[in-house]
Structures are given as C-alpha cells and as structure tokens.
Structure 1
Amino acid sequence: MEKKYTDFNKLNRLLVASFEAEKLYYNAAQDAQTTELKRFLNYMAVERNRMSHDISNELHSRDIEPLKEDAEKGNIDRTWHEIKDALEHFNAEVIINQCIARDKNNIKRYQELIDNNALPEPIIAMLEKQKKQLTWYAKQAEQHKVNPFKKEAATREEAITEKEDAPEAEEKKNNDSGKIINLKAM
C-alpha cells in the first residue's frame, strides 16, 4: 500500500511537523503571561493536536505506522534556567512570529501534498480543509502579537498625562468663557 502512494512518507513527515507545531504552541502557552494570550495559544495547540490526530487516523486506516517519535507534549529538555529566562523575557510578538512561521512552513507542506494529488481523495480533502484552517489561524495569530504590557504601560502614561493636563485645560476653559475662577487656599 505504501508503494502505491509514494506521498504517504511525506504525509507522515507532515504529521511530525504538526506535532512540532503543537509543541511550539503548547510551550508558548506555558510561558504566556496574560490569560487571553494563554487561552489563545492553548487553543492553537489543541487544534494542532486535532489535526495531527486526523492525519494519524488516516495513516492507521491504511495500515501505515504513523511516526510518533515527536509526539511528546512540551519540551522535556527545558532546564529551569530556560523556563526562568522565558518567563522573565517573554515577548509575545517574537513567540507568535515563531508560531506563524511554523504554520506557514506547514502550509507549504500541505500545498505540496495537495498539488501532487497522489494521495486518496478523502485525504486530499482533509488536507485542503486543514490548510484553510491553518491559514485562518495564522491570520488570527497576527492579531495577538501586541505585547499587552507595552499597551498597558502606554495607556497608564496617557491617563497620567491627561490627569496632569486636566486642571490646566479646565482653567483655560474657564478663563476663555469669562467665568469667575475660584481661588484655592495655599
């Protein structure tokens, strides 16, 4: 059966790449420092797991042993120094760019298998569906690139500036309208 469909080896490699993408998202979710980003990254890891499971089922149904050498979740080789460093210097934009790059690489693999058209029709249909999902997920990931800490700091600075400028603006407004200004005791 494997000789009949030469692209099954490429499909098996796509399975491994999907496991790697899942690990990347899983590790990023573990390091994320905001609930919203953590949830998004966990969801992306779960979606990659589901896609891997679908590919694995297709391989099993054709009596081909799926490659599971990289099926372990997370990065077992991470030392506490690496984890500490990841938490102290977490940059959402860099992490998400890595995840998007992995997805784009996988999309190319999907497209290659689809273009070859050497796999059975149900597998091609599944690959097309997964490719569309990955493309959409990559667009969604672009929206999560903003570092919430930078955004929050900028918002705080704007609020402080507005509060400092408020009395001066109010005084100017009162002077311009010809109203009497109450003097405060010193």
Structure 2
Amino acid sequence: MKYTEKISNRLNDLLVKTYDAEKGYKLAADEAKAPYVKDFLKDKEKQRRAFGFELKSEIMEFGELPEKGGSLKGDLHRVWMKLKPLMSSEKTEKILEEVERGEKASLEEYNDILKNSEMRLPPSTERLLIQQRDAIQAALNTSKMYEELRS
C-alpha cells in the first residue's frame, strides 16, 4: 500500500466518524430541551460539517477519493441515543453523557493517528488534525461543564 493511500485511508476513517458525529449532534440538538444545550449541539453539528469538508479536501490532496457517508456503527449509536433518553427522566443529562462518550472516542482516534510513528504525516495534515482534535477537546470540556451545571 502506498504511503499516500495509507494516510488517506486513516483520514477516510476519521471522515466517516465525522459524518457520524455530525448526524449525532443533529439528533441530539433535536432532542435537547435546554436552549443553551440545544445551541451548543447545533454549533457542534456545524463544526463537524466543516471538519468533514476539511478532511475531504485533505484526502483529495493525496489523490484519493473521500468516503460519502457514515457507518453502521454510527447509525446504531444514534438509535441508542434516541431510545436512551426515553428511559430516563433526565433527557438532557443523558444526551450530554452520550456526547462526552463520542467525543472521547474521537479524541482517541485523532491521538492514535497523530502519535503513529510509522506514518509520518505531512505538516499541513498534522496541523489540520491537531486543530480539529483541540476543537473536539474543547467541545468535550464544554459538554462536561453543561452536565455539571445540570447536576
């Protein structure tokens, strides 16, 4: 497998997860009742859409084709997100818990790619992934803050 193909495959994995996160944030925003949480979730949905465009562009720079949709795992997670709050009296708290779980998984994925010593990323790709990872960390921190405020 060529070096550029290996990198674009990893970026495509991130892209699929970004599609999943965007859809998940939309679902969560539709389900959330607290206006400040709803606004936060809508903002993150837009952010993930932007991340997707950036990742697609980066993949095409490597001469590869970007993925076009989310994953079955993401679809199943969204179904769970929709059902889980129905079983709870505290819908917003459950939504925020799911957001945190998803963001932690995203952080792990980004860190895995960034720390992979076998696959040295071009500086532009590394900067993009660091920028997106840091934005995900900020979203995770905000979600935790909102959850603490609800407690």
What are the residue-to-residue correspondences of 1:175-186 with 2, within 5 Å? none
Corresponding residue number in structure 2 for 1:137: 139
Q: Structure 1: any 5+ residue segments left out of the alignment?
A: 152-186
Alpha-carbon distance in 2 for matches of 1:147, 1:111: 29
Which structure has more helix as a fraction of its residues?
Answer: 2
Q: Distance in 1 between matches of 2:30 and 2:43?
A: 12
Residue matched to 1:4: 3
> Counterparts of 1:89 and 1:22 in 2: how far apart (Å)?
25
Shift of 1:61: 2.3
Cα RMSD of the aligned pairs, angstroms, is 2.8
Residue 15 of structure 1 is matched in structure 2 by 15
**TM-score, structure 2 as length reference:** 0.80
Trace 1:69-80 onto structure 2 (pairs within 5 A). Answer: 69-70=69-70
Q: Is the radius of gyration larger for structure 1 or structure 2?
A: 1
Of residues 126, 129, 140, the one that matches 1:127 is 129
1:91 aligns with 91
In structure 2, distance between residues paired with 1:147 and 1:29: 18
| AA of the residue aligned to 2:106 | N
Deviations 1:99-148 (A, max 9, x none): 11111111111111111243222001110111111111100111222586
Q: Which runs of 4+ in 1 moved over 3 A?
A: none
- SS across alignment from 1:65: coil
Question: What is the CA–CA distance in structure 1 between the aligned matches of 2:8 and 2:90, rounded to whole Å?
Answer: 38
- AA of the residue aligned to 2:136: L
Aligned match of 2:61:
61
Counterpart for residue 112 of structure 2: 112
User: Secondary structure at 2:121's aligned position in 1?
Assistant: coil
Give per-residue Cα distances to partners, 1:43-66, cap 9 Å, x unaligned: 111111111111111112222111
Cα separation, partners in 2 of 1:147 and 1:90, compared to 1, 3 Å: farther
Paired residue total: 141
| Percent identity between the two aligned chains | 22
- Report the AA paired with residue 134 of structure 1: I
Which runs of 5 or more structure 2 residues have no equivalent in the other structure? none
Conserved? CA contact 1:92–1:147, under 8 Å:
no
